[in-house]
């Protein structure tokens, strides 16, 4: 490993260097998945502003590694404030042209020092692995991180086969008689807000998390509104469907569409409360948002989703809809 002369600097979303910092992520994204539009700078900008604004549910800080004055690598550290007080989430990337020269390791050392100074003792990070040999895996292993969760990414080519979708809708409607299906866009209807918060909390306990040492998250209506605002600020619209029984929201699914380049939509969370499982509500809600997607955004070509392989019911729904495997997302952790 040769170590070029480099310098690590702190930066903020409105600094002159920030656009180059965003370009590192875009270049890393294009390198890993050439067919996907890279995350637009607006996403990093909005997230960055949210992390630095007081009063939110998480804090954060940004660093760039400079070589000859140019940004060659990017680090974002995210610190939950309402739960998981020992946790720091590490997000880092090095420009493909500047790799294997120790810059990633320098940024990781910086992340460890920052986290320790902020009183955090547990680091977690994710690695996108489109196929075997993804650099992030070798890097994480080299630094002694443990792989706690592997989720399969699946993609659905659009439009969905009409017969397949109609068959699934019919079966799901029959199994879920007694549940009302509701849809909304971007803003959870006020009467369902506190139920929606409970569902988000359950996402952190009920969805399989492998060995990831993260705890239950604290969600209330205000945090849901903050979360919704972040999506809008990032330039995403969110199509949601929910299942209602006795006036209470007992399940939801979210589908996010990046508006600047609406080519690839991202499946967000999907959850049905334990006591309401077994009625095919997950399938019914997912079919409903796919209908909304086709009606409102016919230009979207693909949907991506992530599932732990032991999440059998969710994987089965996705396979029925026609989702097919497209690599994995691994989650890693290290103790300080
Ligand atoms: C992972 C990443 C940050 C590594 O950056 P980097 O500057 O190349 O990392 P380093 O030069 O410090 O690598 C340190 C060691 O990690 C291992 N490593 C890194 N990339 C590797 C690769 N492609 N193949 C095998 N080993 C690799 C090696 O042991 C390397 O030491 P060596 O070069 O002396 O053999 C970079 O590849 C990247 O941005 N990937 C995409 C984003 C990502 O996966 N981020 C990590 C998630 S938080």
Asked if the model's pLDDT at residue 2 lies above 60, the reply is: no
Asked if the model's pLDDT at residue 327 lies above 90, the reply is: yes
Rounded distance between C-alpha atoms, residue 35 and residue 29, angstroms: 10
Rounded distance between C-alpha atoms, residue 111 and residue 93, angstroms: 12
Task: Give me the percent of the chain exceeding a pLDDT of 90.
Answer: 93
What pLDDT is stored for residue 313 in this prediction? 86
Task: Identify whether the C-beta of residue 333 lies closer than 8 Å to the C-beta of residue 124.
Answer: yes
Q: How does pLDDT run across 51-93, given as a tens digit for each residue? A: 999 999 999 999 999 999 999 999 999 999 999 999 999 999 9
Rounded distance between C-alpha atoms, residue 111 and residue 264, angstroms: 31
Q: Ligand 1 pocket test: pick from 26, 104, 105 the residue with the most ligand atoms within 8 Å of its Cβ.
A: 104
Q: Bigger pLDDT: 308 or 1?
A: 308
Q: What is the position in ligand 1's atom list of the atom closest to the CA of 28?
A: 41
DSSP lists the bridge partners of residue 226 as none
What pLDDT is stored for residue 317 in this prediction? 87
Q: Ligand 1 pocket test: pick from 26, 66, 100, 101 the residue with the most ligand atoms within 8 Å of its Cβ.
A: 100
Task: Give me the percent of the chain exceeding a pLDDT of 70.
Answer: 99
What pLDDT is stored for residue 3 in this prediction? 65
Rounded distance between C-alpha atoms, residue 286 and residue 253, angstroms: 7
Q: For the domain covering 6-120, report its CATH number.
A: 3.40.630.30
Q: Which CATH architecture has domain 153-328?
A: 3-Layer(aba) Sandwich (3.40)
Return the domain boundaries, the chain.
6-120, 153-328
Rounded distance between C-alpha atoms, residue 227 and residue 238, angstroms: 11
Q: How does pLDDT run across 180-211, given as a tens digit for each residue? A: 999 999 999 999 999 999 999 999 999 888 88
Asked if the model's pLDDT at residue 1 lies above 60, the reply is: no
- Average pLDDT for residues 6-20, to the nearest whole number? 97
Six token digits for residue 173: 């409607």
Output the average pLDDT for the chain.
95
Q: Bigger pLDDT: 246 or 4?
A: 246
CA 142 – ligand 1 centroid, Å = 8
Task: Identify whether the C-beta of residue 120 lies closer than 8 Å to the C-beta of residue 327.
Answer: no
Task: Identify whether the C-beta of residue 135 lies closer than 8 Å to the C-beta of residue 37.
Answer: no
Lookup result for tokens 């547990």: 122
Domains 6-120 and 153-328 share a fold: yes
Asked if the model's pLDDT at residue 102 lies above 80, the reply is: yes
Q: Which residues have a Cβ under 8 Å from the Cβ of 151 and sit 6 or more positions away? A: 306, 307, 308, 309, 328, 329, 330, 331
What pLDDT is stored for residue 4 in this prediction? 73
| Highest mean pLDDT: which range of 182-186, 212-216, 305-309 | 182-186
Nearest-Å Rg of the Cα atoms of the chain is 20
Asked if the model's pLDDT at residue 309 lies above 90, the reply is: no
Q: How does pLDDT run across 129-187, given as a tens digit for each residue? A: 999 999 999 999 999 999 999 999 999 999 999 999 999 999 999 999 999 999 999 99
């Amino acid at each position: 490993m040769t170590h070029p002369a480099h310098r690590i600097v702190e930066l903020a979303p409105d600094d002159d260097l920030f656009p180059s910092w965003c370009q590192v992520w875009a270049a890393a994204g294009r390198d890993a998945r050439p067919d996907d539009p890279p995350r637009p700078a607006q996403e990093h900008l909005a997230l960055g502003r949210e992390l630095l604004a007081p009063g939110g549910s998480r804090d954060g800080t940004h660093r760039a590694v400079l070589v000859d004055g140019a940004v060659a690598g990017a680090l974002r550290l995210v610190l939950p404030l309402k739960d998981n007080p020992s946790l720091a989430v590490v997000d880092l990337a090095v420009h493909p042209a500047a790799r294997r020269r120790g810059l990633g390791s320098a940024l990781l050392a910086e992340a460890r020092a920052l986290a320790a100074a902020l009183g955090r003792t547990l680091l977690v990070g994710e690695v996108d692995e489109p196929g075997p040999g993804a650099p992030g895996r070798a890097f994480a292993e080299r630094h002694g991180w443990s792989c706690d969760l592997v989720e399969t990414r699946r993609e659905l080519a659009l439009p969905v086969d009409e017969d397949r979708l109609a068959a699934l809708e019919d079966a799901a409607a029959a199994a879920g008689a007694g549940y009302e299906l509701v849809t909304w866009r971007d803003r959870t209807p006020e009467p369902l807000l506190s139920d929606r918060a409970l569902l988000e909390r359950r996402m952190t306990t009920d969805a399989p998390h492998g060995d990831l040492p993260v705890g239950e998250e604290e969600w209330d209506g205000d945090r849901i509104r903050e979360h919704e605002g972040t999506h809008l600020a990032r330039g995403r619209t969110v199509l949601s469907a929910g299942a209602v029984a006795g006036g209470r929201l007992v399940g939801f699914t979210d589908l996010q569409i990046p508006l600047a380049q609406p080519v690839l939509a991202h499946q967000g969370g999907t959850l049905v409360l334990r006591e309401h499982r077994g009625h095919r509500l997950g399938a019914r809600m997912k079919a409903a948002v796919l209908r909304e997607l086709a009606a409102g955004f016919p230009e979207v070509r693909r949907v991506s989703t992530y599932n732990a392989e032991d999440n059998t019911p969710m994987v089965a729904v996705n396979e029925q809809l026609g989702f097919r495997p497209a690599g994995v997302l691994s989650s890693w952790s290290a103790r300080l």
